Amino acid sequence: MKHKLQYFCKFCRKPGEVEYDDSNPLSEEQVATWLKFVACDSCAVYYRTTRDMTRRLYAVCNDWFGVINTPHDDLDARNAVRNKLNKILTRLADAAAKFKHVQAPETASHVETLVDNPRKAGIVLHQLLN
Ligand SMILES: [Zn+2]
């Protein structure tokens, strides 16, 4: 039988309700533990997007770091990495803006920072998300 259980989002502590099917073979203790890990939709989307985009950003920056200042560091390569970084940073900025109910921060200067110095990914992330 399905019923509603109260939870508090593990990130923002906002109360919510989640449907639980008690035909699952879980003890009351297991259900209580499970409820501690439930996130509201807003936090779930934000944290999943930032996690995925952060991983992608570091992967792109890491690859770019291997190319920069080599003979493969040409205009085409720079434009290709610029496009990738622009997509990632735009998604991060949009996710942060939606989550915090603020206007999306500008990303163009951050993209150029990373094209010039991919080691600054952590600094750029901090500036975009905080
Ligand atoms: Zn939340």
Ligand 1 centroid from CA 60, angstroms: 29
Q: How much is the pLDDT for 21?
A: 85
Ligand 1 centroid from CA 16, angstroms: 9
Instruction: Give the separation between CA 111 and CA 121, rounded to whole angstroms.
Output: 10
Ligand 1 centroid from CA 40, angstroms: 4
- 53 & 16 share domain: no
Ligand 1 centroid from CA 7, angstroms: 11
Ligand 1 centroid from CA 52, angstroms: 18
Ligand 1 centroid from CA 49, angstroms: 14
Range of 98's domain?
41-129
Q: How much is the pLDDT for 88?
A: 98
- 72 & 47 share domain: yes
Instruction: Give the separation between CA 80 and CA 107, rounded to whole angstroms.
Output: 16
Dump the DSSP string for 73-121.
-SHHHHHHHHHHHHHHHHHHHHHHHHHHTSPPPP-HHHHHHHHH-GGGH
- 21 & 56 share domain: no
Q: How much is the pLDDT for 113?
A: 98
pLDDT, tens digit only, all 130 positions of the chain: 888 999 999 999 999 999 888 787 788 899 899 999 999 999 999 999 999 999 999 999 999 999 998 999 899 999 999 999 999 999 999 999 999 999 999 999 999 999 999 999 999 999 999 8
- 75 & 119 share domain: yes
- 94 & 109 share domain: yes
φ, ψ for residue 106 (rounded to 5)? -70, 140
Ligand 1 centroid from CA 116, angstroms: 36
- 73 & 87 share domain: yes
- 84 & 123 share domain: yes
Ligand 1 centroid from CA 5, angstroms: 16
Asked if 12 and 38 touch (Cβ cutoff 8 Å), the reply is no
